[in-house]
Amino acid sequence: MKQIDWDMSTITAGDYSVEFQIPREAYDDWKNEYYLHQNGYKERGYSPALALKEHMSEEIGRIMDKWIIE
Q: Is residue 27 part of a domain?
A: no
Total number of domains in the chain: 1
Residue 67, in any domain of the structure = yes
Would residue 68 count as lying in a domain?
Answer: yes
Contacts of 23 (CB under 8 A, 6+ apart): none
Range of the domain at 49: 45-70
Low-confidence residues in the chain, pLDDT < 50: none
Q: What is the pLDDT of residue 48?
A: 95
Distance between CA atoms of residues 51 and 68, nearest Å: 26
pTM: 0.68
What is the model's pLDDT at position 13? 66
In angstroms, rounded to a whole number, what is the distance separating the alpha carbons of residues 40 and 32?
9
Of 14, 23, 11, 22, the residue nearest 61 (C-alpha): 11
70 lies in some domain: yes
Whether 30 maps to a domain, the answer reads no
Q: What is the pLDDT of residue 2?
A: 65
d(CA 63, CA 1): 16
Residue 3 lies in a domain: no
Looking at residue 15, its pLDDT comes to: 62
